[in-house]
A and B are shown apart, each in its own frame.
Chain A
Amino acid sequence: MKVLFYGRLADVIGAELEVNSPARCSVSQLRERLATEHPLAAQALRSKRARTCVGDRLVHDAHVLSAADTVEFLPPVSGG
């Protein structure tokens, strides 16, 4: 599946990554795998204020991903 990153996560991991995920991988499982593979991004990935989107919709940690999904990891946002 395609995984997109923004903000400080894109700084560390890059803006886009192709991930070969196992069948029925949850958001939290994908996050933990990415955190293990990219330790410099682990804190930002695990932040309670970070959000995950699939198809421009926020999804919860238990959401099950499919190989065709594009998953986006959004670090804490800030405007103004």
Chain B
Amino acid sequence: MSVVARLEESAFRPDEELAALLKQASEDGAVVSFVGVARPTSKTGDPVEQLVLDHHPTLTLQSLQDIAVSAAERFDVTHVRVVHRCGEVRSGEPIVFAGAASVHRRSAFDAADYLMDRLKTEAVFWKREVGASGSEWIEPTDADYADRDRWG
């Protein structure tokens, strides 16, 4: 069993994170991964140049670790890996990698789903979309909270 939770201040490579997870899980049978990517447009259709993720000096990494450990404890998984960007993320760049490995696929799917539902609503970041018309703070939607609450 391994749990990795990292905060990255510059661009990271999701393919390298997946490769590391595959290597760790070479005898396990199932690996599921999710990559979140900065969108080029806002909900209202305005172009977005970059997403800026402010973070807390201690609570942000702690929240990533807590969520990753919680997934490892809750599901029958062999490895959990979370990598999250902070700072300025240009549209099209990865924001988050959430991956899990297990002996059978269902646990890895569930763990990845759970990781993202909790990251969306509990990871300690403050996000704003920056475009030509200014910047807009982005907070979780009611649907995001409902997704998180599915897990009890």
Partner-B contacts on A (CB < 8 A): 6-8, 10-11, 49, 53, 56, 72, 74-80
Contact = CB atoms under 8 A, between A and B. Distances in A.
B140 A78 contact: yes
A56 B36 contact: no
Which 5 A-B pairs rank lowest in CB-CB distance, beginning with the nearest? A79-B123, A7-B126, A80-B120, A79-B119, A8-B137
A1 to B, nearest CB: 18
Nearest to B67: A79
Contacts of A7: 54, 126, 137
B59 A78 contact: no
Contacts of B138: 78
B123 A80 contact: yes
B96 A80 contact: yes
A47 to B, nearest CB: 9
Interface residues of B, number: 27
B9 to A, nearest CB: 15
Interface in B52-74: 53-54, 56, 58-59, 62-64
Contact of B59 (A49, A56, A75): A56
B122 A75 contact: no
Given A7-B137, A56-B59, A78 B127 contact: yes
A75 B62 CA distance: 17
A62 to B, nearest CB: 21
B119 to A, nearest CB: 4
B95 interface: yes
Given A6-B54, A74-B56, A75-B139, A80 B95 contact: yes
8 contacts: A6-B56, A75-B139, A77-B121, A77-B126, A78-B120, A78-B139, A79-B63, A80-B120
B54 A79 contact: no
Contact of A76 (B36, B54, B84, B139): B139
